[in-house]
Homo-oligomer: A and B are copies of this chain.
């Protein structure tokens, strides 16, 4: 693991420019989009997938020096590990990585949603939220939650220069949420805003159901900004 960042940024957040960002589920639209944006911001990025071959293919498609490894190697080689897998495979992907993720900052961005003919609706994980499930499965990891409300379409579009959004960052450890806030701020247009403890992750995750309704009604790629900050 890279030594902890020591040079604080002007806004009081740490310098995270040297941290390696791993993305579990990095071959999906959200994961590819985040990988692209972090690499474009100058961050070292590793895409993780069930097989190294699939990850390497996705990484090659993105370029920008992004590497592709299997999930365990991605977890080992990264300082901060973003979880961008579908909710359906969330527990199955994380459970075997407990050792690899011990001590790492984990950023859960999974939105547990169901879909029917009336659209999307919130699912209620037994642990309270996807992020709390991650914390339960990874007791030695430094689990945070963030990056829920991003449009994969905008993230992946190279013509889009900035992502007009505030990223809500949740977690129970200040040093970890500070790092995640600083990472969010690396992407042009984004701010990382502390938005509470992990026990308040459920509503942030499931608000994506509302943004899907907004997108359908207004033909938009809606995101959120927090006012008065």
CB-nearest residue of chain B relative to A195?
B210
Interface string of A32-48 (1 = CB under 8 A from B): 00000000000000000
Q: Does A196 contact B (CB under 8 A)?
A: yes
Do the beta carbons of B224 and A229 come within 8 Å of each other?
no
Do the beta carbons of A228 and B223 come within 8 Å of each other?
yes
Q: How far is the CB of A195 from chain B (nearest CB, A)?
A: 4
Q: A218-B229, A222-B228, A229-B222 are in contact. Are A200 and B196 (CB under 8 A)?
A: no
Do the beta carbons of A199 and B164 come within 8 Å of each other?
no
In Å, the complex CA distance between A217 and B229 comes to 10
Q: Which single member of B151, B193, B207, B226 contacts A204 (CB below 8 Å)?
A: B207
Residues on B with beta carbons closer than 8 Å to the beta carbon of A165: 227
Do the beta carbons of B227 and A119 come within 8 Å of each other?
no
| Count of chain A residues with a beta carbon within 8 Å of a chain B beta carbon | 40
Do the beta carbons of B119 and A197 come within 8 Å of each other?
yes
Instruction: Please state the number of chain copies in the assembly.
Output: 2
Q: Does A87 contact B (CB under 8 A)?
A: no
Interface string of A120-159 (1 = CB under 8 A from B): 1110000000000000000000000000000100000000
Which chain A residues have a beta carbon within 8 Å of chain B's beta carbons? 118-122, 151, 164-165, 168, 170, 193-197, 199-200, 202-204, 206-207, 209-214, 217-218, 220-229
Apart from A119-B196, A170-B210, A200-B206, list 20 A-B contacts with CB within 8 A.
A118-B199, A121-B199, A121-B200, A122-B200, A122-B202, A165-B227, A193-B214, A193-B218, A195-B210, A195-B211, A200-B210, A200-B213, A202-B203, A202-B206, A203-B203, A203-B210, A223-B227, A224-B224, A224-B227, A225-B226
Instruction: Give 8 closest A-B pairs by Cβ, nearest first.
Output: A196-B213, A203-B203, A223-B227, A225-B225, A203-B206, A195-B210, A220-B228, A196-B210
Show 27 A/B contacts (Cβ-Cβ < 8 Å), sorted by A: A119-B196, A121-B199, A121-B200, A122-B203, A195-B210, A195-B211, A195-B214, A196-B210, A197-B213, A200-B209, A200-B210, A200-B213, A202-B203, A202-B206, A203-B203, A203-B204, A203-B206, A203-B209, A203-B210, A204-B207, A204-B210, A211-B226, A214-B229, A220-B228, A222-B229, A223-B226, A224-B226
